[in-house]
Structure 1
Amino acid sequence: MNSSHHQGPLQFHETAWREIDLSAIASNYRAIRTAIGSTTKIIACLKQDAYGCGAEQVAALLCAAGVDAFGVVSIADALAVRKAAPRKPILMYPGIGPNAVDLVRELDLTISISGEEDLRGWLSTGMPLKIFVKVDLGFWRAGVAPSGLRRLIDLCASQANVVVEGLYAHLSEFGQAGASAQEQVARLTPLLKGLEATGHRPATIMVSSSESLLRHPEFDMDAVDPGALLFGLTGACAGRRGLLIRPALSAIKARIVALKASDDSMGAPPDLPGYHRAMRLAVLGIGWGHGVPRHLGPEASVLVRGRRASIVPPIHLEHLRINVTDIPEAELGDEAILLGAAGAERITLQDLADAWVTDETGAACGLRENLRRIHIAEK
């Protein structure tokens, strides 16, 4: 498989890096577009620096692919997206307040409104507002309660400087502990009919993000805002749509920066899993300061020269140890693969998530900014 590196040979000067497959994001976007059809908008959710993939690079890619709009949480992400997509709409999810009014104006952002108090704060700025009203159908997070939606929409309609461009909700992720997706959407349906009767129904209604997009095609409505799905972070989430999705985070690699055989002059081996006399130890230039968890599962390993080497505790800020006793050919400067393939061996994103005692999204979004990104395009 060929790959084209878009950031030059920076990885040759790094002790650790991650590789982001931009072609996977493009492919995932096309799969979503094909599944939902041409009449439903895609508002690409690029929160948390596009799930660790780089908001500016991903926005440029999706803008070229024809995405309808973007959704972000932070001003930092909004700045990155606006740089790459000068004319695309950007929806700010709840998280900023009226003190950011100058940036909202400068970046031409659409803000989320979750209640009357929220709205009044923004109205006090005197600035013309483009808004999406958010309703809480059972997520127990941001959003106006269904009982207050009609009043909030009417209040917006009474303001000459407010344009309500859409209404959205995110469906509950509580599983059996919460209401079903059908129950949640059923709370919204009569409200939409009432808004339509008064002429106050917003043009864009949206309730489906990644999981509900997979599981409930009937809820596509006017728009969807996939995030994790765009980046191939689907985990074990199966659904009625069998989309061909692959992870954008394709590799995490580190170099061997120290290599030694144990010696009696170092004292007895620590009474910790994986240590023994006569072991050969390698040190990698990656640690919890890069986002590797401080406590890993017992199956945690890396690939060195196409063979598995177990990780031995503890994990340090900038280093971790691996046991290369059975890989005598390992040398200083060798790549160790925490995620990715070497020869016939592979550590998948799910394997990594299991070893890191998290899920795929947790593994990808838990990586720190100082773990350099290398953008590639697999072919």
Structure 2
Amino acid sequence: MLSSPRAVAYIDLGALEENCRSIRQRLNPATGLLGVVKADAYGHGALEVSRKLESIGIDYLGVATVDEGVDLRKGGITTPLLVMSGVFSWEEIDPVVRYDLTPVIYDDALLGRFAALSKEFARPVKVHVKFDTGMGRLGFKPAEAQRVAAILAAAPGLQTEGIMTHFPSPEVRDEYGLSQVRTFTKVVDTVRAAGLDPAYVHMSSSGAIVTYPEAHFSLVRAGISLYGSHPSRALEQALPLRQVMKVVARIAFCREFPAGVPLSYGRTYETPRHTRIAYIPVGYSDGYPRSLSNRGRVLIRGRECSIVGRVCMDWTLADVTGVDGVESGDEAILLGEGGSGTRICANEMAELAGTIPYEILCKISKRIKRVYI
């Protein structure tokens, strides 16, 4: 019987701080840093991560929804909070004002509603206005900049604190991205010519912090890089980072099988020889990808061990043949650093699983306890 939790996600707040420091070293001293903590800080725990970022002087925090912002305010976070997906119902405008959140305005419906209500606000509401320079998602068209700026300038209760846009491929430096930078620069010039003076002009997310230094402007938005991963492994050398999350499970038991025995659902794996199997009580309901069946790996006693058979809802099987002394209670590292310089990073898991590191981290479920170190 295990005497410790079956699985734990250790969140290294020191690594988070180190990653912040590494990112800031690439920025002009006048450029601010927004830490993206949406989706429960990519699975790391939004409140705990935000508290750490606030303690080291982060300039801004970014969430996706009003509810996420309200939760952080109720948790005591006082750092400016950008609601990057704006509001989804008019009822959300009240908590935006009450909890001093900064919504992103990206279409005429939002702009018109906030402008109409602005005279009723007890204090000016800060907004960031988004323009679509090539993402094809949220934002006004660049050609609408003058019209939008005129509406904002005439709304007494709105403070246009920021102007923003987004790269669709921030990890790739190419002419498409460079044309976006030029287009956005013209938008900013148009907005300023209309008499607005946004304190924050921002375009770059994690990948573009490396690939588009000319697009740092006055603020960059660091998301996946804060947590120790990159949008592309090609950027790893340019910006060394430390994995913030380490997922460790305890082996429940081991069994031995002769050659020719099928294992797990679908009988997709058959033992090729006398084989020793470690049973790890973590599965796809915990966020460990089923797509790593017969192709993932774990670290046990400093050795790389292959995942065999299909990953189950609550169990994963690892071949520990040839690894001396493996027994119940031993650690199985699913994500993070092991002994002897071994490690499994989110980018590697994502490549094997056919997805992206963002999804790997966000899907580590609440069944796995977070422990902050």
Question: Are the aligned partners of 2:170 and 2:206 in contact in 1 as well (CA < 8 Å)?
Answer: no
Separation of aligned partners in 1, 2:315 and 2:271: 17
Stretches of structure 1 that go unaligned for 5 or more consecutive residues are: 1-10
Instruction: Indicate the residue corresponding to 1:373 in structure 2.
Output: 370
The answer to whether 1:48 aligns with 2:26 is no
Partner of residue 104, structure 1? 96
3-state secondary structure, aligned to 2:313? coil
Where do residues 244-323 of structure 1 align in structure 2 (5 Å cutoff)?
244-249=240-245, 251-262=246-257, 268-270=261-263, 271-276=267-272, 278-296=274-292, 298-323=294-319
Q: 2:16 aligns with which of 25, 49, 56?
A: 25
The 1:88–1:328 alpha-carbon spacing in structure 2 relative to 1, beyond 3 Å, is: closer
Per mean C-alpha deviation after superposition, the further-off stretch among 64-73 and 331-340 is 331-340
Given the alignment, which residue of 228, 235, 238 partners 2:235? Answer: 238
Map of 1:5 onto structure 2 = none
Task: Go from structure 1 to structure 2 and tell me whether the alpha carbon gap of 1:54 and 1:344 turns closer, same or farther (over 3 Å shift).
Answer: same
1:1-379 equivalences under 5 Å are 13-83=4-74, 86-97=77-88, 98-123=90-115, 126-127=120-121, 129-173=125-169, 180-234=176-230, 235-238=232-235, 242-249=238-245, 251-262=246-257, 268-270=261-263, 271-276=267-272, 278-296=274-292, 298-327=294-323, 329-344=325-340, 346-349=342-345, 350-376=347-373
Judge conservation of contact 1:47–1:71 (CA < 8 Å) in 2. Answer: yes
Task: Say whether the 8 Å CA contact 1:57–1:84 is kept in structure 2.
Answer: no
Give deviations 1:171-200, integer Å, cap 9, x for gaps: 222888996221012112233323333312
SS of the residue aligned with 2:69?
A: helix
Kindly indicate whether structure 1 or structure 2 has the higher relative contact order, using CA contacts under 8 Å at least 6 residues apart: 1
Find the aligned partners of 2:152 and 2:20 in 1 and give their Cα distance.
Answer: 34
CA drift of 1:59 comes to 1.1
| In 1: Cα distance, 2:296 partner to 2:190 partner | 55
Cα distance in 1 for residues equivalent to 2:84 and 2:208:
18
Alpha-carbon distance, 1:284 to partner: 0.8
Deviates more, 1:208-217 or 1:117-126: 117-126
Distance 1:238 1:130 in 2: 34
Alpha carbons of 1:118 and 1:329: their partners in 2 closer, same or farther (altered >3 Å)?
Answer: same
Distance 1:199 1:124, change over 3 A: closer
How far apart, in 2, do the equivalents of 1:174 and 1:223 lie? 15
Q: Is the contact between residue 139 and residue 171 of structure 1 (CA under 8 Å) also seen in structure 2?
A: yes
Separation (CA, whole Å) in 2 of partners of 1:320 and 1:96: 40
Q: CA deviation at 1:144?
A: 0.8
What TM-score do the two structures reach when normalised by structure 2?
0.87
SS in 2 for 1:26: helix
Q: Name the aligned partner's letter for residue 282 of structure 1.
A: A
Paired residues of 1:307 and 1:345 also in contact (CA < 8 A): no
Deviations 1:17-38 (A, max 9, x none): 2222111111111222232133
State the identity %: 29
CA distance in 2, matches of 1:30, 1:301: 31
Structure 1 SS opposite 2:254: strand
**SS of 1:28 mapped into structure 2:** helix
Q: Which amino acid is the alignment partner of residue 281 of structure 2?
A: G
Looking at structure 2, the residues matched to 111 and 287 of structure 1 have their Cα atoms a distance apart, in angstroms, of 37
- Is the 1:115–1:152 contact (alpha carbons within 8 Å) kept by the matching residues of 2? no
CA distance in 1, matches of 2:43, 2:337: 20
SS in structure 1 at match of 2:139: coil
The count of aligned residue pairs is: 362
User: How far did residue 87 of structure 1 move?
Assistant: 2.6
Report the RMSD for the aligned CA atoms in angstroms: 2.7
Q: 1:56 to 1:327 in 2, by over 3 A?
A: same
Alpha-carbon distance in structure 2 between the residues aligned to 1:275 and 1:135: 56
Which structure 2 segments of 5+ residues have no match?
none
Maintained 8 Å contact 2:34/2:60? yes
For 1:93 and 1:135, locate their aligned partners in 2 and report how far apart those are by CA, in whole Å: 13
Partner SS, residue 180 of structure 1: helix
Instruction: Return the alpha-carbon distance in structure 2 between the equivalents of residues 344 and 114 of structure 1.
Output: 50
Decide which moves more: 153-162 or 351-360: 351-360
Cα deviation digits, residues 283-322 of structure 1 (max 9, x gap): 1110000111112164422122223322112111111112
- CA displacement, residues 48-86 of structure 1 (integer Å, 9 cap, x when unaligned): 111222111111111111111111102343234324554
Q: Distance in 1 between matches of 2:270 and 2:351?
A: 19
Moved more, 120-129 or 89-98: 120-129
Distance 2:95 2:3 in 1: 38
Q: CA deviation at 1:90?
A: 0.6
Pairwise CA distance, 1:227: 1.1
